[in-house]
Structure 1
Amino acid sequence: MSDLIVDAAPPEALLEQVAVTLSRYRYRFSDEDSLQQGIAKALSANGLIFQREKSLSQRDRPDFLLTGGLAIEIKIGGSLADVLRQVARYAEHERVRGILVVGTPAWLSRVPESLAGKPLFHLRLLGSLL
Structure 2
Amino acid sequence: MRLWRGRVAVTAERVTTALRSRAFLAANEHELHEGIESALRYDGVEFEREVRLDARSRVDFLTDDGVAIEVKVDGAVGEVARQLERYARSPRVTSVVLVTTRARHLTLRSFATMADKPLAVVWLGGVA
**Richer in strand (by share):** 2
The secondary structure found in structure 1 opposite 2:84 is helix
Whichever residue aligns with residue 60 of structure 2, its letter is D
Q: Identify the range of structure 1 (26-35 vs 69-78) with the bigger mean alpha-carbon deviation.
A: 26-35
Whichever residue aligns with residue 25 of structure 2, its letter is R
Q: Is the Cα–Cα contact under 8 Å of residues 103 and 125 in structure 2 kept in the other structure?
A: no
- Show the counterpart of 1:4: 8
TM-score computed with the length of structure 1 as normaliser: 0.86
Whichever residue aligns with residue 61 of structure 1, its letter is R
Distance 2:87 2:100 in 1: 18
Q: Quick one: percent identity of the two aligned structures?
A: 36
2:31 is aligned, of 24, 34, 37, to: 34
Q: Deviations over 1:31-83 (max 9, x none)?
A: 11110110000001111110000111121111000010000000111111111
How many residues align structurally?
121
Q: Is the Cα–Cα contact under 8 Å of residues 102 and 125 in structure 2 kept in the other structure?
A: no
Matches within 5 A, 1:1-130: 3-6=7-10, 14-111=11-108, 112-126=111-125
Q: Is the Cα–Cα contact under 8 Å of residues 19 and 36 in structure 2 kept in the other structure?
A: yes
TM-score computed with the length of structure 2 as normaliser: 0.88
Q: Which runs of 5+ in 2 are unaligned?
A: none
Runs of 4+ in 1 over 4 A off after TM superposition: none
Greater RCO structure (CA 8 Å; 6+ sep): 1
